[in-house]
Amino acid sequence: MSDFNQLELSRRELLISSAVTVVVTGTATGRAAAQSSGDDMKFTTPVAFTVNGEREELEVDNRTTLLDALREHLHLTGTKKGCDHGQCGACTVIVDGHRINSCLTLAVMHDGDEVTTIEGLGQPGDLHPMQAAFVKHDGFQCGYCTPGQICSSIAVLEEIKANIPSHVTGDLTEAAKLTAAEVRERMSGNICRCGAYSNILEAISDVGGIEA
């Protein structure tokens, strides 16, 4: 019986202490809210970068990705939003000569950078060699992933020229070789749900000068 009474007392003490904690916490939170009105907090940041040769200046929410800045603010909708988790490569763009997944990086991180999207590579009647090769070899079906595929393809050839190693590069003391296996490995982050991989490889091989 004494154990039961002791248990009941413990419950009562627990309820009282919990109530006191809620009151104290609520009071502290109220004071904190009263001290910070939110007017002094900065939610946006100005960013300026060069996109396809044009200087662009934006005021963006700090959480805005580069992908959303391109699509929603600059209306460059060629860059596609696929998985939005950096897994499909549809959002690939070239920043300062290197390909990146634009959905995984914030716009404010690229102040002063040079960004190239699919719109900046070529236009109808004056296509980039890689764009022309994709048309020639039918390197697309639905076309949704194609902008990212083309941007990535161009950067891949530059990576090999710059001797940047990959997982299939053999002796790291030797120059990276322009082979079909090397291209396949480097393009593995760009997914084509239509399965046009062989044609994409042919297009890259055509521009790069290798036999697929």
Of the candidate ranges 7-21, 141-155, 185-199, the one whose mean pLDDT is the lowest: 7-21
From CA 180, how far away is CA 44, in angstroms rounded? 45
Structure tokens at 22: 């809620």
Domain spanning 123-212: CATH superfamily: [2Fe-2S]-binding domain (1.10.150.120)
pLDDT of residue 99: 97
Contacts of 114 (CB under 8 A, 6+ apart): 49, 50, 95, 96
Report the CATH fold assignment for 43-120.
Ubiquitin-like (UB roll) (3.10.20)
Contacts of 123 (CB under 8 A, 6+ apart): none
Model-level pTM? 0.78
Asked if residues 102 and 70 have their Cβ atoms less than 8 Å apart, the reply is yes
pLDDT band, very low/low/confident/very high, at 172 (cuts 50, 70, 90): low
Question: What's the distance, Cα to Cα, between the start and end of the chain in Å?
Answer: 86
Neighbours of 144 (CB within 10 A): 17
Q: From the centroid of its chain, how far is CA 48?
A: 18
% of the chain residues with pLDDT over 70: 78
DSSP state of 86: S
pLDDT of residue 28: 45
Q: Which residue has the tokens 């036999």?
A: 211
Sheet architecture: strand order including 44-51 = 54-61, 44-51, 114-116, 92-95, 98-101
Averaged over 145-149, what is the pLDDT? Answer: 97
From CA 146, how far away is CA 170, in angstroms rounded? 30
Q: Of residues 184 and 169, which shows the higher confidence score?
A: 184
From CA 154, how far away is CA 156, in angstroms rounded? 5
pLDDT band, very low/low/confident/very high, at 127 (cuts 50, 70, 90): very high
How many helices and strands (H and E) does the chain possess? 6, 5
Q: Of residues 170 and 126, which shows the higher confidence score?
A: 126
Report whether pLDDT(170) > 80.
no
From CA 152, how far away is CA 134, in angstroms rounded? 13
pLDDT of residue 210: 82
Averaged over 1-26, what is the pLDDT? Answer: 56
Averaged over 95-117, what is the pLDDT? Answer: 97
Asked if residues 97 and 139 have their Cβ atoms less than 8 Å apart, the reply is no
Report whether pLDDT(178) > 60.
yes
Q: Which residue has the tokens 């764009």?
A: 131
Report whether pLDDT(38) > 50.
yes
Report whether pLDDT(148) > 90.
yes
pLDDT of residue 177: 83
From CA 74, how far away is CA 42, in angstroms rounded? 22
pLDDT of residue 4: 47
pLDDT band, very low/low/confident/very high, at 114 (cuts 50, 70, 90): very high
pLDDT band, very low/low/confident/very high, at 42 (cuts 50, 70, 90): confident
Report whether pLDDT(31) > 50.
no
Report whether pLDDT(183) > 80.
yes
- Helix or strand holding residue 116 (H, E): strand 114-116
